[in-house]
């Protein structure tokens, strides 16, 4: 696999030179300074590419070209935004970029309730406490109809959490939930979040999925001409939030999307932590099942808590998902591609998220994107990959003997 690292551009507290010292060779980034829905100019793409290459690194994956909300709910700017997305793909292809990771989550991207949850070793992890999230929805955001999104036990736990939490705990949850988008440290206001829900009032999962399929069908000619794979990222966490539908949460969701748009350019980002955030997803089996369409991998791990709905970001190879099984499935797929002579045989992976450890506690950083924590994760994953590759080689030698 290609070892990559997410970098948020020149304002990222983690520099390209530090990433190089971590022994990553590929960069995963985007043009974050360009407004959502606008075309990425070729000169801006090449400028960023040159900046990365000047450090001896390669821009390997685009993560991401954000999908405009009007595409998701079919608003008045929908057609313009799809056309601009296609033009951006054309420009990325001209620059030699071949993989784009994107998501189709309405209004809010990943969701957590705690950015720094203390671990037994003294480090910190991100966590999603379902009771705290429901309390935010019901008592802080005060979303109309929030009670309809939870069962009686959930509501009881949410009410208890809110009653027992002090002002500091409530403020921390509010700030963490409102961050909304990766790479951002600015919390959006409650009214802004509430207004974002309004266009989705009558849109269910069937409708949202149909909008995703229409979007992809219109993009496929541009993606295929540019030689680009559009690798969708699963929902994080893979369950409805704020009453909004989510449509990339299960194996059935993935299969339905791949069946609806059969082009090889319609691909998957295997995010182990996202799919692994609910007990019903067998992530190893999903990796094996969809291996031929996986173009990018986020190797992070979570441990689901006793309620089955809360989870925390665990060590990369020690969480609730069998990460060794996932890596093995990806390496087997790489070997199949090489044997078949396929062009994109190598799968880029990155150590997604990481604990806040040592110097991470002192430097400013984007939530989940600490330097030392990710360096530790990459080292562990690299060691696991080497061991699994050696085992596969030995098995092949035994078969030939």
SS3 4: strand
Give the CA count within 13 Å in the CB-facing half-sphere of 121: 10
First and final CA of the chain: distance in angstroms? 27
- Using CA atoms, how far residue 316 sits from 64, 86, 127, 180, 285, in Å, is 22, 35, 15, 23, 18
Please give the backbone phi and psi of residue 173, each rounded to the nearest 5 degrees, phi first.
-65, -45
Catalytic: 397? no
Q: Which of the residues 85, 102, 150, 369 is marked catalytic?
A: 369
Catalytic: 233? yes
Give the CA count within 13 Å in the CB-facing half-sphere of 317: 14
Do residues 27 and 10 make contact, with C-beta atoms less than 8 angstroms apart?
no
Catalytic: 352? yes
Q: Give percent helix, percent strand, percent coil of the chain, each to the nearest 5.
A: 45, 15, 40
Q: Which of the residues 352, 355, 360, 366 is marked catalytic?
A: 352
Q: Which of the residues 3, 137, 253, 271 is marked catalytic?
A: 271
Q: Which of the residues 3, 68, 233, 355 is marked catalytic?
A: 233
Quickly list DSSP for 187-200.
PPPHHHHHHHHGGG
* Radius of gyration, CA atoms only, the chain: 21
Do residues 295 and 229 make contact, with C-beta atoms less than 8 angstroms apart?
yes
Question: Whole-angstrom Cα distance, residue 79 to residue 164?
Answer: 48
Task: Please name the residues in contact with 161: beta carbons below 8 A apart, sequence gap of 6 or more.
Answer: 129, 131, 132, 134, 135
Alpha-carbon 51 to chain mean position: 24
Task: Please name the residues in contact with 194: beta carbons below 8 A apart, sequence gap of 6 or more.
Answer: 141, 143
Q: What is the SS3 assignment for 84-129?
A: HHHHHHHHHHHCCCCEEEECCCCCCCCCCCEEEEECCCCCEEEEEC
Q: Which of the residues 3, 70, 211, 298 is marked catalytic?
A: 298
Task: Please name the residues in contact with 399: beta carbons below 8 A apart, sequence gap of 6 or more.
Answer: none
Q: Which of the residues 3, 68, 353, 355 is marked catalytic?
A: 353
Catalytic: 101? no
List active site positions: 233, 271, 298, 352-353, 369
């Amino acid at each position: 696999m290609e070892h990559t690292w997410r970098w948020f551009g020149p304002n990222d507290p983690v520099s390209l030179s530090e990433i190089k010292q971590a022994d990553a060779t590929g960069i995963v980034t985007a043009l974050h300074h360009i407004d959502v829905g606008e075309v990425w100019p070729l000169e801006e793409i090449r400028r960023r590419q040159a900046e990365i290459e000047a450090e001896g690194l390669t821009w390997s994956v685009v993560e991401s070209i954000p999908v405009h909300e009007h595409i998701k709910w079919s608003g008045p700017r929908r057609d313009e935004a799809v056309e601009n997305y296609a033009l951006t793909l054309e420009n990325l292809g001209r620059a030699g970029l071949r993989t784009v990771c994107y998501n189709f989550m309405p209004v809010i991207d990943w969701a957590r309730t705690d950015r720094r949850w203390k671990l037994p070793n003294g480090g910190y992890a991100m966590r999603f406490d379902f009771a705290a999230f429901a309390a935010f929805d019901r008592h802080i955001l005060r979303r109309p109809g929030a009670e309809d999104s939870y069962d009686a036990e959930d509501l009881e736990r949410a009410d208890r959490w809110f009653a027992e939490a002090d002002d500091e705990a409530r403020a921390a949850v509010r700030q963490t939930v409102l961050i909304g988008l990766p790479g951002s440290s600015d919390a959006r206001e409650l009214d802004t979040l509430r207004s974002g829900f309004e266009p989705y009032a009558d849109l269910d999962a069937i409708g949202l999925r149909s909008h995703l399929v229409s979007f992809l069908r219109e993009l496929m000619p541009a993606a295929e001409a540019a030689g680009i794979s559009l690798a969708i990222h699963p929902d994080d966490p893979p369950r409805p939030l704020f009453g909004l539908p989510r449509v990339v949460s299960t194996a059935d969701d993935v299969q339905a999307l791949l069946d609806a748009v059969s082009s090889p350019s319609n691909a998957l980002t295997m995010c182990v932590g996202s799919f692994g955030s609910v007990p019903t997803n067998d992530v190893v089996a999903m990796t094996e099942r969809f291996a031929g369409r996986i173009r990018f991998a986020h190797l992070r791990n979570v441990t689901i808590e006793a309620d089955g709905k809360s989870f925390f970001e665990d060590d990369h190879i020690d969480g609730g998902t069998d990460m060794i099984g996932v890596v093995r499935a990806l390496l087997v797929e790489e070997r199949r591609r090489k044997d078949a002579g396929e062009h994109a045989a190598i799968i880029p992976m990155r150590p997604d998220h990481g604990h806040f450890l040592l110097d991470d506690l002192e430097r400013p950083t984007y939530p989940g994107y600490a330097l030392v924590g990710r360096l530790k994760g990459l080292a562990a994953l690299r060691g696991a990959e080497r061991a699994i590759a050696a085992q596969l080689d030995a098995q092949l030698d035994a078969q030939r003997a």
